[in-house]
Structure formats: structure tokens, C-alpha cells
Amino acid sequence: MGQQGATTNNAATETTTSFPWSKSNLPKQLFINNEYVEAKNHKKLEVRNPKDESLLADDVAIAGEEDVDAAVDAAEAAFPAWKKTSATQRRNLLLKLADLIDEHSVTIAELTRLSLGAPFASFGGVEIKGAAEAYRYFAGWCDKFAGESFPQEDGFLKIVRNEPLGVTAGIVPWNGPVATAAMKSAPALATGNCFILKSSEKTPFSALALGTLIKEAGFPPGVFQVLSGDGSTGALLASHMKVRKISFTGSTATGRKIQEMAAKSNLKRITLELGGKSPAVVFDDANLQNAVFWCINALCANSGQVCCAATRVYVQEGIYDKFVEGYKKGMQERAKTVGDPDAAETQMGPLVDKLQFDRVSGFLERGRSQGTLLLGGSRVGDQGYFIEPTVFTDVPEDAEICKKEIFGPVAILNKFKTEEEIIAKANDTDYGLMAGVFTQDINKALRVSSELDSGMVGINCISLAFLTVPFGGTKQSGTGRENAIHVLRMFTEPKTVLVNMTY
Ligand code: NAD
């Protein structure tokens, strides 16, 4: 394939010709029952390139009620045979899909980049690699999530089976469209569920392109389907009486609606991976260079459009001035790498679309009267949705920029005195996704990490995730967990079987 030119930031060369998609041939139809089909719904999505606001497509399908029903019916029809498919076969299909994603990673990343704007080297390539690894990791679980049994000393042998739920669905955001899809579909499929992916209206192309690879990998029709659409499509899935589970990643506001729709329909199971306002706490005895490195990386990756980005940085008074100097210098260096996401040297691309750009610009404008602007604060250039990395200092704890998720490259940087004070401040938020503690005192690190009310805590690191350990948040950052054995429990129902051994 290799449709990208020499100036683009490709990392690999593709070899086969069975993958028809490219920037000049975008997938825009729904992938139902292993075929690309026209939506019955006539409404369409318009998608633009955030680097120059140019129109990419105005005819991407929005799955309506009939389309969602068709996908659910196909999944329901496929489920009885799929749940009986051997673990070995399921494993092989997932492994094959992982290989196909790797093989076409450059094109898939480009299909995302066109409408997300994330450069290949700093985000796009890593995202696709992460997706392939998720399919491999959960392939490994297919024959290892074995259930339990308890002895019959009381006359009853007790067996607990992990049974799939049936038709499950994933609703994903735009900021990592393929990796979030993989984190949901891989465990769903590994445990014998059928899965319907609802892509984000802002980044539909890479998700839709997966259909070709799903079919080529050999998944039976109806087992893994992809619907493009907006919130209306997501709502149809969340309130569908035959969908047994929604795994959702997105904003807290939408998560709340999903929970309500699930409750009002069939009490379907839900997992919610929502927003964050993650604190990084840097103590006087921290390794300065390391703390600065993580705090910058954690804000600038994907132009700040990362749920667990370190957006509240708290630094102890003894190291504060030195930290500010290093953080500012590092951010200024990053600011030089804002630019065309298709160029190899670019680290930070634009924000995803006008809506997000206007939202972040509003925070920047209002933030000027809430704290002191240390650096950034403005648009870059006059075309596209580029924003400078921005830091505000001395921000009151109740200020909007300290409380609300901005979802752009914007941090607040405040000073603190004591451990007790900073634990209270770090926890004074509606969110609880991730936190970071930077210190060389292991006792302090463990003490503070146990006091922080969040699903994940990094010690001398922040804003990272691994497939092998649970990912998710407390409070309004969500409910349930992704990754590791924990997500397998989210996609299965334990069935207790009692065997009377006494006659
Ligand atoms: P969003 O809530 O606007 O949309 C997410 C998805 O939900 C999209 O596919 C959208 O079409 C769908 N949707 C919108 N309204 C719906 C409705 N009424 N019913 C059903 N589905 C609906 O979020 P976004 O703007 O795409 O993503 C940004 C948010 O996602 C941020 O808050 C970010 O923190 C969060 N996020 C969280 C994680 C995590 O793992 N915790 C990861 C990435 C992003």
C-alpha cells in the first residue's frame, strides 16, 4: 500500500494489497455481518482534518435504529456458535487480527491521524501497536480464564463457570480510537461474547477499516461488527433491550447518561471509563529531572487529549523554583514541536476539531483571570486547531481551570508545604483516575499513594497504562476496570453449578 509520501512520518512498509483503505479511499459504510453495507439511516457525518479544517468526508454513515437492530440481530444469531468455539480457535483469530493490524499499522494510523491530528511518532504509531498488543494479550487469556471449583466435603461439588454475556458493545471516544476499541473488543471476544463497536463521530475511519481485517482474520459473520455514528447511535445501543453490556469510554456527562439508559432498559452491565483531573505531587526530595520529564510528557502526549494526563501539578516549596525553571524550559521546547501532524519532526498536532478548540480556548481565556499565565495560552498559527502548551501558576483550588477537565495541553502548577495539605488538595476533585507521587523516600511514596483516592497511582511516573494491571478510576472517573483479568470479569457472568454428590 504505502500511500504516504517521503515527507510523512511512516515507521514501516506495508506488504499486502488486500486492505483497500487509504486517505483517498476512506471507509464510510457500516460493517455488519462481515459486509460493508449502506446505512438505512440517511443522516451522515461530516469529518474535517483538524490541521487545516479541510473537509475529509460529509457522507460517513450514522447507524440508525434499523442499522443497530440489524447488527444486534446478527450478533445474536452468531452468539450460540461463537460461545461454543474452542478457546484455541478464538485465540488464533485474535492473534491473526493482531498480525493484520501490525501489517497495516501505517495506514490505520493515517486513517486516525487524518481526523485526530496525532503525529505517528509521538502517538499514532504507539496507539496502533498498543491495539495489536491488546489482541495478543487477550488471546493468551482464552484458555486461562477457567472458573473455579470447590470440594464436596459437605456433599455438594460446587463449580463456578465464567459465562459470556451475549451481545456486548463498546462506545469509544476520539482520542485513541483503535486502542480503546481493542481494549474492549479483545476481552469481550476472548471470553466468547459477540461485540459491536461504535466509533466516535470525530474519528470513524480507522475503526471502520478494521472490518476488512476482522473478515480476513476469519471471525464468523456477526461476531465482531463496527458501526459509525454519533451520540444517537450510542444511545440506541445503550438503551437496546438485547445488548447485555456496554463498555464505554468518554466524558463523565455521557457516562452518566449511559448508566441511566442501561438502568431504564434491561439493566445491562456497564463499564465506564470517564474523565480525569490527575494530580502529580512532587516532593522536595524528588529527582527533579525525572519529575519534570514525566509531568511534561504526561501533558503533551496527544496534545493533552489524554484522560490520565497530569493536569494538576503540585510542587513542594523547597523544590518549587527549580521545578518551575525546568518545567517551563521543557514546555518551551515542546512548543517548538507543535505543527503539521504529517511531518516527521512534529511531536504535538492540533486539537481534534473546532468544538474542542473552542472549548479549550474558552478555558484559556477565562484562566487568565484565575491564575498567573506562566507560558503559552494562545493559538498557534491562524489555520487549524493548534494550541500552545500552557501552564498557569498560583491557581486557587476552587478555580474552574483547577476543577474541570480541559482535555488540551493545559496544566495548573501550584506550590504546597506539607504532606497532609497536599493529600487533601489532590483528593479534592470529582475525579479519581490517576495520580503521581514523586519522591525518593519509599515510605512516603507508599504512604501517600495509599491516601490518594484514585484508581491508579504512579510512583516517580504518571499517565501510563499496562495491559497486565487494571485500568480505571474512582469517583466520577468511572466504574469497573479495563485490562488484566479484571476486564474479563466485566464481560462474563459467574454461573454457580451445584452438584449433589450424596446419592
Ligand atoms: P464523549 O462522551 O463526548 O463521547 C464518547 C462516545 O460516546 C462517542 O462515541 C459518542 O458518539 C458517544 N456518545 C455521545 N453521546 C452519547 C449518548 N447520549 N449516548 C451514548 N453514546 C453517546 O467523549 P469524547 O469527547 O469523545 O472523549 C473525551 C472524553 O473521554 C474525556 O472526558 C476523556 O477524559 C474521556 N476518556 C476517558 C478515558 C478513560 O479511560 N478513562 C480514555 C479516553 C478518554
The residue whose C-alpha atom lies closest to atom 40 belonging to ligand 1 is 273
pLDDT recorded at residue 6: 34
Neighbours of 117 (CB within 10 A): 30
State whether the beta carbon of 235 lies less than 6 angstroms from ligand 1.
yes
Give distance in angstroms: CA of 158 to centre of ligand 1. 41
The residue whose C-alpha atom lies closest to atom 32 belonging to ligand 1 is 251
State whether the beta carbon of 433 lies less than 6 angstroms from ligand 1.
yes
Residue 134, burial from CB neighbour count under 10 angstroms (0-12, 13-18, 19+): buried
State whether the beta carbon of 175 lies less than 6 angstroms from ligand 1.
yes
Give distance in angstroms: CA of 250 to centre of ligand 1. 2
The single-letter DSSP state of residue 475 is G
Q: Which three cell numbers stand for residue 333?
A: 521546547
Q: How far apart are CA 306 and CA 434, in angstroms?
A: 11
The residue whose C-alpha atom lies closest to atom 34 belonging to ligand 1 is 275
Residue 493, burial from CB neighbour count under 10 angstroms (0-12, 13-18, 19+): middle
Give distance in angstroms: CA of 184 to centre of ligand 1. 14
Which residue intervals of 168-301 are DSSP H helices?
177-190, 205-217, 231-238, 252-264, 288-300
Q: Which three cell numbers stand for residue 476?
A: 466520577
CB contact at 8 A, 375 and 333: no
pLDDT recorded at residue 503: 86
Give distance in angstroms: CA of 441 to centre of ligand 1. 38
The single-letter DSSP state of residue 6 is T
Q: Which residues of the chain have pLDDT under 70?
A: 1-17
Q: Which atom of ligand 1 is nearest to the CA of 202?
A: 26
Give distance in angstroms: CA of 379 to centre of ligand 1. 24
Length of the chain: 503
Amino acid occupying residue 146: A
Residues marked as catalytic: 273, 307
Pocket test for ligand 1, best of 175, 254, 271, 360 (most atoms within 8 A of CB): 254
The residue whose C-alpha atom lies closest to atom 39 belonging to ligand 1 is 273
Give distance in angstroms: CA of 312 to centre of ligand 1. 21
The single-letter DSSP state of residue 384 is S
What's the Cα-to-Cα distance from 254 to each of 15, 93, 210, 249, rounded to whole Å?
A: 40, 33, 25, 9
How far does Cα 83 stand from its chain's mean position? 27
Q: How far apart are CA 461 and CA 472, in angstroms?
A: 17
Pocket test for ligand 1, best of 249, 265, 407 (most atoms within 8 A of CB): 249
Amino acid occupying residue 35: E
pLDDT recorded at residue 442: 98
Q: What is the 3-state secondary structure (H, E, C) of 273-318?
A: ECCCCEEEEECCCCCHHHHHHHHHHHHHHHHHCCCCCEEEEEEECC
The residue whose C-alpha atom lies closest to atom 10 belonging to ligand 1 is 231
In terms of Cα–Cα distance, which of 197, 201, 131, 134 is closest to 169? 197
Q: How far apart are CA 188 and CA 172, in angstroms?
A: 14
In terms of Cα–Cα distance, which of 183, 167, 91, 81 is closest to 133? 183
pTM: 0.95
State whether the beta carbon of 257 lies less than 6 angstroms from ligand 1.
yes
State whether the beta carbon of 254 lies less than 6 angstroms from ligand 1.
yes
- The domains located in the chain, with CATH, are 31-274+478-496 (3.40.605.10), 278-466 (3.40.309.10)
